[in-house]
Structure 1
Amino acid sequence: MTMFRAILSLPRTVWLIGLISLLNDSASEMVYPLVPLYLTAVLMAGPRALGLIEGIAEATASLLKLFSGVIVDRTQRAKPWVVGGYALAGFARPLIAFATSWPAVALLRFGDRVGKGLRSSPRDSLLAASVDPGVRGLAFGLHRAMDNAGAVVGPLLAALLLGLGWELREVILFAAAPAVACLIMALLLREPAPNGARPTPPAFSWRLAGLPPAFKRYLVVLGLFTLGNSSNMFLLLRAQELGLPQAQVPLAWAAMSLVATLFSTPLSALSDRVGRVRLIVAGWLAYGAFYLGLGLLPPGTPLALFGLFAFYGTFMAATEGVEKALVADLAPAALRGTAFGWFNLIAGLVLLPASLLFGALYQGVGALAAFGFSAACAFAAALLLPIWALRVTQPAPY
């Protein structure tokens, strides 16, 4: 009951950002699980093409996340970037239905990720500025829960439409409807009034001037973890390879997102009391176990496959909101947008070599080699975070 009251007492901005993410992810996740199927079944592309598409798209988005974060610190305005980012992504995504080659899909995924790059750091900065430090974990956890709720609604709707006989192209085009609703709600956002005069941030530096050493070490370990955290589309491709029927692939994705939805808020709120590092380490260990399991799983075991995808949701619940709350803990207020930009840059930029390497291992050596490499990176990062980057000496703030 105490957590329920705390959730209800969160500011209007937190709830509105959460609802926007729910709508946006309903549209995004309606399409996302279908892209590997569309590439392989309709456009006849393989894992290497998938890795190239996702790696380039995410790497470009990451550079824009840094740019938009720096601009927010200097202009102290986040809403224009949030609205523009959601608009670009929302209207690029359904156009995949008209693509006739994998380079065309790559271009539209690029537009989708550019929109995400423009909005992510400003949105995270706006969310962090709207709550007290003592409830950052709760606020980011609620946001991630609502975001993941959209990731449940989208695949379920896609599965329903496919089950009713809709073609892949028709389902992808339908994603335009929630995108319009998302844009309307983004226009209703209000930025919090400034709490006194904010100090002028230092000039931008590629050496991360003004940011504390602990934050820089955190980024190094995050980069190691991300090297093994390739595009989630490989998970969907693996599910299809293990014999999961086409109409059930979105259901497996929905099961994962449902677990993340249910546990993101309580686990992120727990980090407000016991510390961020403990939750992140637990999540990264769960990630490594999941990847090992998916690499070793034999074909023809759909129940085990659904169980693994649900288990993957615990990794998401324990890390997605907590990692961002940790950024807000470590960064000075005048550089909060820049810090989120660097966090998003590292998390996305390393995805390019990660996706290319994973795709090459998958196609050239085998699934076990690719998934085993990802698990090794996760286990190593889980070890380095507490003993080197951020030594756990007390529960708060991290």
Structure 2
Amino acid sequence: MIQAVSPETRGRAFGFHRAADTLGAVLGPLLGVALLGWAQGLHWGDDAGAFRLVLWLSVIPGVLAILAFLVLVPDPEFSPNPALKFFSSLRGLPSRFKHYLAAVGIFGIGDFSHTLLILAATTLLIPSLGVIQAAQVAGLLYVWRNVVQVAVSFPIGVVADRVGHLPVLVAGYVLGASTAILTALAFLFSVDSVAVLAGIFFFAGLYVAVQEALEATVTAEMVQPATLTMSYGALGTVNGVAKFVSSASVGVVWTAISPVAAFGLAAGLMAAGTLALLRVKNE
């Protein structure tokens, strides 16, 4: 997509792309909440039966997506570049971009999957709402997070095109660390207010919108066109490994110690990644 837009409009182009992609993440949880309410009315031996049915039904769109790729999406034309050597090209990437990848990786190690945010909201709401209703409200809060992301992705891209992509990304990382801090505080004070939790999910939607719209645009600004695809691959690898480590570590610390410690750890790592990104900005 990056070749189809000018450098001056990359932020809004990626913002529009992420907004369109996230629409599915809005409609899917809404359907899940509705199905969970319907399944609750069936006769089950325990509360888990309704959840199992909804999870099995979620397999259907996944299978349809695979079939759509196989049938509807043609293979793109590929022009090989035999002169491009992987390891030498990787070593030849700009040092500033390598520092940027390090900052993204540090932040990513704290950037837990937001399914854990859903679990956090469910856990906090169960004492006052019960298991099923707490899960439904948590699902709606996740929908709210996605609505926020859809609503702000394009405007964030426009602002970033005007004031600079990297400064806006730094601000987004600050919001990410704030989200983890607020979640830790919610557990510390046993918050069961839907309005407060909605505020946390609002921050989550904001920072994910910034992150997903601008990490790629900052990459495009730092590397040469000949190594852009490989640089995107490096960014994706760093993000993928970091997010796996993050979700696993937050889950383990939650189980072994407490959710306050888990989200506190995430906040510390995200803050460290923000400071590292700030240093890259000043290079």
**TM-score normalised to structure 1 length:** 0.60
Deviations 1:107-162 (A, max 9, x none): xxxxxxxxxxxxxxxxxxxx112222222111111111112211111100100111
Residue ranges of structure 2 left out of the alignment (5+ in a row): 41-49, 127-133
Question: Equivalences for 1:25-64 in 2 at 5 Å?
Answer: none
Q: 1:162 to 1:301 in 2, by over 3 A?
A: same
Q: Which one has the bigger helix percentage?
A: 2
Q: Residue 29 of structure 2 corresponds to which residue in structure 1?
A: 155
Which of these residues, 197, 209, 212, is aligned with residue 305 of structure 1? 197
Which of these residues, 228, 235, 239, is aligned with residue 336 of structure 1? 228
State the distance in 1 between where 2:215 and 2:30 align: 28
Q: Residue 359 of structure 1 corresponds to which residue in structure 2?
A: 251
Which of these residues, 326, 349, 353, is aligned with residue 241 of structure 2? 349
Point out the more displaced range, 287-296 or 175-184.
175-184
Structure 2 residue 256 is the aligned partner of structure 1 residue 378: no
Shift of 1:207: 8.0
Which of these residues, 211, 214, 218, is aligned with residue 100 of structure 2? 218
Contact kept in structure 2, 1:260 and 1:313, CA below 8 Å: yes
Deviations 1:209-232 (A, max 9, x none): 232111111001111101111222
Q: Give SS of 2:39's match.
A: coil
Which of these residues, 155, 177, 184, is aligned with residue 266 of structure 1? 155
Contact kept in structure 1, 2:11 and 2:217, CA below 8 Å: yes
Q: Residue 49 of structure 1 corresponds to which residue in structure 2?
A: none
Q: Give SS of 1:211's match.
A: coil
Which of these residues, 316, 319, 322, is aligned with residue 211 of structure 2? 319
Which of these residues, 161, 168, 177, is aligned with residue 61 of structure 2? 177
Deviations 1:145-200 (A, max 9, x none): 11221111110010011112263333233332375267537835685998xxx976
Over the aligned positions, Cα root-mean-square deviation in angstroms equals 2.5
Deviations 1:284-308 (A, max 9, x none): 1111111111111124222211221
State the distance in 1 between where 2:62 and 2:244 align: 29
Tell me which of the two structures has the higher relative contact order, counting C-alpha pairs closer than 8 angstroms and 6 or more residues apart. Answer: 2
Shift of 1:270: 1.7
Q: Residue 282 of structure 2 corresponds to which residue in structure 1?
A: 391
State the distance in 2 between where 1:201 and 1:207 align: 10
Contact kept in structure 1, 2:39 and 2:53, CA below 8 Å: no
| AA at the equivalent of 1:389 | V
| AA at the equivalent of 2:222 | L
Contact kept in structure 2, 1:202 and 1:209, CA below 8 Å: no
Structure 2 residue 20 is the aligned partner of structure 1 residue 146: yes
Deviations 1:341-371 (A, max 9, x none): 1001111112333233222221222111111
Q: 1:231 to 1:220 in 2, by over 3 A?
A: same
Q: 1:332 to 1:183 in 2, by over 3 A?
A: farther
| AA at the equivalent of 2:143 | A
Q: Residue 250 of structure 1 corresponds to which residue in structure 2?
A: 139
State the distance in 2 between where 1:206 and 1:224 align: 25
Q: Residue 236 of structure 1 corresponds to which residue in structure 2?
A: 118
State the distance in 1 between where 2:83 and 2:212 align: 27
Contact kept in structure 1, 2:36 and 2:136, CA below 8 Å: yes
State the distance in 1 between where 2:84 and 2:262 align: 42
Structure 2 residue 183 is the aligned partner of structure 1 residue 289: no
State the distance in 1 between where 2:248 and 2:62 align: 32
Number of residue-to-residue matches in the alignment: 262
Identity of aligned residues (%): 29
State the distance in 2 between where 1:286 and 1:157 align: 29
Contact kept in structure 2, 1:130 and 1:192, CA below 8 Å: no
Q: 1:191 to 1:273 in 2, by over 3 A?
A: farther
| AA at the equivalent of 2:51 | L
The structure 1 segments of at least 4 consecutive aligned residues displaced by more than 3 Å after TM superposition are: 181-186, 188-194, 198-201
Deviations 1:88-108 (A, max 9, x none): xxxxxxxxxxxxxxxxxxxxx
Residue ranges of structure 1 left out of the alignment (5+ in a row): 1-126, 393-398
Deviations 1:221-279 (A, max 9, x none): 11110111122222122111101512222111100000000000110222122111111
| AA at the equivalent of 2:112 | S
Q: 1:192 to 1:219 in 2, by over 3 A?
A: same
**TM-score normalised to structure 2 length:** 0.83
Q: Give SS of 1:242's match.
A: helix
Contact kept in structure 2, 1:279 and 1:319, CA below 8 Å: no
